[in-house]
Amino acid sequence: MTEDNSMTQENPFEALTPDFILDAVESRGFYSDGRAIALNSYENRVLQIGIEDTTPLIAKFYRPNRWSKAQILEEHDFCFELVEQELPVVAPMITKGESLFEYNGYYCALFERKGGHAPELDNLDSLFTLGRFLGRIHKVGQAKDYTERPSLTPQAFGHDSIDYIIEHALPDEVRMPYESLARDLMKLVDELWQRAGQQQYIRVHGDCHVGNILWRDDNPHFVDLDDSRMAPAVQDIWMLLSGEREQQQKQLLEIIEGYQEFCDFNVAELQLVECLRTLRMIYHSAWLARRWHDPAFKHAFPYFGSVQYWQEQILDLRMQFAELQEPAITLPMY
């Protein structure tokens, strides 16, 4: 990952006025009807743009200095590989011969608008279908590695995040208990990661939760591969599990049965589920700290940085510490 210098900017998206946004879209040959609706995105700026005499499209303005051009294009190429295999992934549009363009200092991409709703994760048939598509996606993901994009590791998501939080975000009142707990958590994560054995890192979606899956006509459409990276396959599976252990096992069984119709799944990776959940929790707090200069984050997360916020984090991480010491989720068939 490139060094993120956007933390030094007061507002990295300050230039994105309505006129700027519409001018950027029209520079690709589309004529807007003047409507621009901001969609739910914090890391980048994503908007639905009305287009004269046709359906709207989606414009994505990438956060400056987060990804290099090569890293963005690598993700785009993965999307195109998936589309070539007739997988329901919303890939960027090709305009003027390219999927990524630069407009006055911002990298931008345009996408077709796809309708749909979040999948029902308590519907076992839906989970089986999701598993089949994830198996096909991962079969493509195994074909080659990313060379520009980073990998999901305990060091990058856990240790480095804790270091940043301690240096930049923690109030003095909670510094000692948070640091002590977080360091102990990462010792356990490191042990479990090693215990799971050598994992195969493949190209994955990276952020495969219900908000990035649009369900339509009994099939999913996968959107927003912005966090795609090299990771164990289970990274795209664990966020689809919810409820008590017995319920999660039923869900997992359906997903993996569908998955293995197209791609082998290494059951040893189930040892990583709670590790990955822990890393996501810690990384999320560090992400908020790194983005706190952005006014959109202050508006959306007003309690971040308060003593109360960190006290709640400590409580959640203590519960997660207990989860890490429980036996890993398993599949009855194995």
Q: Phi and psi dihedrals of 36, rounded to 5?
A: -140, 120
Q: What is the C-alpha separation between 121 and 202, in angstroms, rounded?
A: 25
Of the candidates 53, 71, 54, the residue with the CA atom closest to the CA atom of residue 62: 71
Q: Which amino acid is at 57?
A: L
| H helix intervals, 196-325 | 245-259, 273-290, 295-300, 307-324
Q: Which residues of the chain register pLDDT less than 70?
A: 1-9, 333-334
Catalytic residues: 207, 224
What's the pLDDT score for residue 217?
A: 84
> In sequence order, what E strands does 31-114 have?
32-38, 45-51, 57-61, 101-103, 106-112
Question: Residue 242 class from Cβ within 10 Å (0-12 exposed, 13-18 middle, 19+ buried)?
Answer: exposed
Q: What is the pLDDT of residues 70-91, one digit of tens each?
A: 999 999 999 999 999 999 999 9
Q: What is the pLDDT of residues 154-201, one digit of tens each?
A: 999 999 999 999 999 999 999 999 999 999 999 999 999 999 888 899
What's the pLDDT score for residue 334?
A: 55
What's the pLDDT score for residue 71?
A: 98
Output the known binding site for Mg(2+): 212, 224
**Global pTM value:** 0.93
